[in-house]
Amino acid sequence: MSSLRGVLLLIAPVLLSASFFIGANGLFGTLLSVRLDLDGVRVDAIGLVMACYSVGWVIGALICPRIIRQVGHIRAFAAFAAIVAAMALAHPLLVDPVLWAVLRVLCGLCMAAMFTITESWLNAMAPSPMRGQVMSVYMIVTFGAFGAAQFLLTVTDPSGYELFSLVAMLAALSLVPLALSRVRTPSELVDERFMLGRLIGISPLGVAGCTVAGLINGAFFAIGPVYARTFDPSATWVATFLMINVLGGLLLQIPIGRLSDRFDRRQVIFFVCLALALFSYLVTLAPADMRLLLLGILAVQGGVAYTLYPLSLAHANDHLDPQELVPASGGLLLCFGTGAALGSVTGSLAMSLAGPQGLFYQFALVSLALALFTAWRMTRRPPVPNEEQASFVAVPQTTMQAEVLDPRAEDEQMSLDLPP
């Protein structure tokens, strides 16, 4: 059996490409939200523009596997990365919300394709016994690249064109490791998913949890930069605000996941929702001059928010056969994407109606609603015995290809021969 070090060396080009385009994506979204706010665009209009990314992501998740099959992984990745780079350079030419909304749809589609390609490569190169470890490394790369990219916002003035050029550079650089990789491309893509009706029949709470997770996380990254600027308009503060939230999400995955493996998972989801509601509300109470307190609350809020999707997925998996995991997770990812699109719109409307704190009021309310639904579901179905529960696995909310790395699924993907 190959060592983890050998596997990591083999997948290093894929992870490097992923870090570049995840960084580009993280900076791009924050930059657009900040730039629209700087130009005086209303917050509800900003929400609509930013929601278009999730719309494009859902479309891309549905159609991109077919495109990739037709032209191949490398050609498809090169085309989509080039489109993202070109779009980044096009934005500062004309600051128009309607045009930017169209470009956000296209960006979401391209990013869905790029995630699909890189994650299918990881699936092809990860031996079955090491899928869990590869998934963990990929999660660290995902959170790390996205969080670190926020501080690129401080490199220069967001009102200029330079940061858009930096996004384009990162998107272009993501081409290099994969284009120069000697590893053969995967032969197949996983593209099967359950319909919504079947998912609701299997796990109503799983569907609700994934949708609410998308609503909260999508709204935070779409409108969160605008909220942060109500405290301090500096780029350093906005970057720190977002980075702390992402870091909290990474650090609390494993502790909360282990609790969910020891107890009725629905109880853990219930208390996570209560904690999410509480800390979302506490964000609104933190005094503007107590930044460290606000960041501490925000870290916990992000930590519990980011566990909601994998907890909901794990709960759904408790009622699935292993071979059903990937198609079910594909449907749940679409629920997450739909929630993200709705969250960007409703979050901006909440801020328009209730002021900046309306964003976190919304988070608190939807979390409480999910907690009540979870409590009701506990009265409708007996708990799954602990020994029969599927193990918690921290998974990114990206594409179906990442779910194949989940060690709970049967190993049906292609495996490549690894060097000794």
What mean pLDDT comes out for the span 172-191?
76
Q: What is the pLDDT of residue 55?
A: 93
HEC states along 236-287? HHHHHHHHHHHHHHHHCHHHHHHHHHHCCHHHHHHHHHHHHHHHHHHHHHCC
Check if the beta carbon of residue 81 is closer than 8 Å to that of residue 22.
Answer: no
Domains of the chain are 4-178+191-403 (1.20.1250.20)
Sequence letter at residue 261: D
Task: Identify which has the larger pLDDT, 224 or 287.
Answer: 224
- For residues 195-215, give the mean pLDDT: 88
What is the pLDDT at residue 394? Answer: 63
Instruction: Decide if 378 contacts 396 (C-beta within 8 A).
Output: no
Query: What is the rounded distance in angstroms from the CA atom of residue 172 to the CA atom of residue 17?
Result: 10
Task: Name the CA radius of gyration of the chain, rounded.
Answer: 20
> What values do phi and psi take at 408, rounded to 5?
-75, -20
Q: Which of 83-87, 107-111, 153-157, 316-320 has the lowest mean pLDDT?
A: 316-320
Residues 264-308: tens digit of each pLDDT? 888 999 999 999 999 999 999 988 788 899 999 999 999 899 989
Cα 107 to Cα 92: distance, rounded to the nearest angstrom:
15
CA 206 to mean position of chain CA atoms? 17
CA distance 267 to 232: 38
Q: In whole angstroms, what is the distance from residue 175 CA to residue 156 CA?
A: 25
Tokens standing for residue 268: 């853990």
At 187 the pLDDT is 63
Predicted local confidence at residue 1, as pLDDT: 44
Half-sphere exposure of 420 (CA within 13 A, CB side): 0
CB atoms within 10 A of CB 160: 11
- Classify residue 72 as left (phi > 0), alpha (psi -120 to 50) or beta: left
Residue type, position 237, single letter: W
Please tell me the pTM assigned to this model: 0.87
Q: What is the pLDDT of residues 339-384, one digit of tens each?
A: 999 999 999 999 999 999 999 999 999 999 999 999 999 888 887 7
What pLDDT, in 10s, does the model give residues 309-331? 888 888 887 777 766 676 777 78
Give the integer Cα–Cα distance in Å for 253 and 278. Answer: 19
